[in-house]
Chains A and B, each alone.
Chain A
Amino acid sequence: DAMVIQNPRYQVTQFGKPVTLSCSQTLNHNVMYWYQQKSSQAPKLLFHYYDKDFNNEADTPDNFQSRRPNTSFCFLDIRSPGLGDAAMYLCATSREEQRGSGEQFFGPGTRLTVL
Chain B
Amino acid sequence: AQKITQTQPGMFVQEKEAVTLDCTYDTSDPSYGLFWYKQPSSGEMIFLIYQGSYDQQNATEGRYSLNFQKARKSANLVISASQLGDSAMYFCAMREGFRWDDKIIFGKGTRLHILP
C-beta contact mask, B19-43 vs A, less than 8 Å → 1, else 0?
0000000000001010100000011
Cβ contact within 8 Å between A100 and B43: no
> What distance in Å separates the Cβ of A59 from its nearest Cβ neighbour in chain B?
11
In the assembled complex, the Cα of A31 lies from the Cα of B102 at a distance in Å of: 12
Given contacts A42-B91, A101-B33, whether A106 and B46 have CB atoms under 8 Å apart is yes
B106, CB-defined interface residue at 8 Å: yes
Chain B residue with the shortest CB-CB distance to A30: B100
Contact of A57 among B45, B46, B50, B103 (CB under 8 A): B103
In the assembled complex, the Cα of A88 lies from the Cα of B25 at a distance in Å of: 25
Interface SS of chain B:
loop
Given contacts A42-B108, A42-B109, whether A108 and B43 have CB atoms under 8 Å apart is yes
> What distance in Å separates the Cβ of B47 from its nearest Cβ neighbour in chain A?
5
Cβ contact within 8 Å between B42 and A108: yes
Give the interface centre of A53, A100, A103, A109 by most chain B CB atoms within 10 Å.
Answer: A100
- Provide the residues of chain B in CB contact with A55, threshold 8 Å: 101, 103
In the assembled complex, the Cα of A31 lies from the Cα of B33 at a distance in Å of: 17
Q: Which residues of A are interface residues toward B (Cβ below 8 A)? A: 31, 41-45, 48, 50, 53, 55, 57, 88, 90, 92, 96, 99-109, 111
Q: List 27 A-B contacts (CB under 8 A).
A: A31-B100, A41-B108, A42-B106, A42-B107, A42-B108, A42-B109, A44-B106, A48-B101, A50-B100, A50-B101, A55-B103, A88-B43, A96-B100, A99-B98, A99-B100, A101-B52, A102-B35, A102-B50, A103-B35, A104-B47, A104-B104, A106-B44, A108-B42, A108-B43, A108-B44, A109-B43, A109-B44
